[in-house]
């Protein structure tokens, strides 16, 4: 679904890029919604680094510290510490980081509580642009953040980031071009997740290859791709 709301004007899909660049890439506040620590870095870490380097106001909210998924020998706050380090590498101030601890893989049982936290963030921050997991993401927790994110931030511009291992398909209407520097920041941020280093999608060659593929699609060195759900000007 793509809904374009620009007061006093009507646009067709051929104008999406111009509208997005004019409004969505120049917001006052950007909020990243990550179901679990590391999802935001994986989905849009290069763009986050780019936004922060440009001096934009970026916030990050992760909804599970995934304590049950950690090996038994690691402290329960391992992913919280790693997330703080990773987001700092991207340029997000510590006071812009929100960490919640809903049980991993059980978000559907806490849907209303999650929605209430999202509504609180909306009222507290008033973001112009919100990044959420994509509509086609198969992970049950990611689906909850996607659906409740649409509800809580229905008056904001909304874009969905891709996590290919969770997507059977991905319909990207926008490519954000990035250079080597923000891509390297993304790679460094992911390397901060030492507890997740064994996962194939955390490897530098995969991250760089995906950015290269998306870059080729938009005639750039590198890029990150997004679904668009709503553009509000």
- Per residue in 93-151, pLDDT (tens digit) is 999 999 999 999 999 999 999 999 999 999 999 999 999 999 999 999 999 999 999 99
Distance between CA atoms of 9 and 23, rounded to whole angstroms? Answer: 14
What is the per-residue pLDDT for 154?
A: 97
Angular region, 226: left φ>0, alpha ψ -120 to 50, beta rest: beta
For the chain, the farthest-separated pair of C-alpha atoms sits apart, in whole angstroms, at 59
Residue 112: how many CB atoms within 10 A of its CB?
A: 9
Bridge partners, 159 (sequence order): 131, 228
In terms of DSSP bridges, do strands 129-133 and 57-62 run parallel, antiparallel, or are they unpaired?
Answer: unpaired
Only one residue has tokens 């703080």, namely 84
Burial class (CB in 10 A: 0-12, 13-18, 19+), 71: exposed
* Token pair for 183: 């891509």
What is the per-residue pLDDT for 13?
A: 43
**Residue ranges for the chain with pLDDT beneath 70:** 1-26
Distance between CA atoms of 24 and 18, rounded to whole angstroms? Answer: 10
The answer to whether 185 and 46 have CB atoms below 8 angstroms apart is yes
Distance between CA atoms of 128 and 15, rounded to whole angstroms? Answer: 20
Which of 83, 30, 23 is CA-nearest to residue 57? Answer: 30
Kindly report the CATH number that applies to the domain delimited by 7-232: 3.40.50.10320
What is the per-residue pLDDT for 233?
A: 80
The answer to whether 167 and 43 have CB atoms below 8 angstroms apart is no
What is the per-residue pLDDT for 22?
A: 52
- End-to-end CA separation in angstroms for the chain: 18
In terms of DSSP bridges, do strands 174-178 and 222-232 run parallel, antiparallel, or are they unpaired?
Answer: antiparallel
């Amino acid at each position: 679904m793509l809904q374009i709301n620009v007061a006093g004007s009507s646009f067709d899909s051929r104008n999406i890029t111009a509208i997005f660049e004019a409004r969505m890439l120049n917001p006052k506040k950007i909020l990243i919604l990550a179901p679990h620590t590391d999802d935001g870095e994986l989905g849009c870490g290069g763009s986050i680094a780019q936004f922060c380097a440009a001096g934009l106001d970026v916030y990050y909210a992760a909804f599970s510290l995934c304590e049950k998924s950690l090996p038994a020998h690691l402290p329960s706050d391992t992913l919280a510490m790693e997330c703080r380090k990773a987001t700092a590498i991207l340029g997000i101030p510590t006071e812009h980081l929100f960490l919640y601890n809903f049980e991993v893989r059980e978000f559907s049982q806490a849907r209303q509580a999650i929605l209430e936290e999202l509504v609180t963030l909306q009222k507290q921050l008033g973001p112009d642009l919100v990044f959420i997991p994509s509509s086609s993401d198969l992970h049950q927790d990611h689906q909850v953040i996607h659906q409740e994110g649409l509800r809580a931030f229905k008056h904001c511009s909304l874009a969905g980031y891709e996590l290919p291992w969770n997507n059977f398909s991905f319909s990207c209407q926008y490519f954000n071009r990035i250079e080597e520097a923000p891509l390297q920041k993304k790679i460094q941020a992911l390397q901060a997740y030492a507890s997740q280093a064994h996962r194939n999608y955390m490897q530098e060659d995969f991250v760089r290859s995906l950015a290269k593929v998306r870059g080729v699609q938009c005639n750039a060195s590198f890029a990150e791709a997004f679904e668009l759900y709503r553009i509000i000007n």
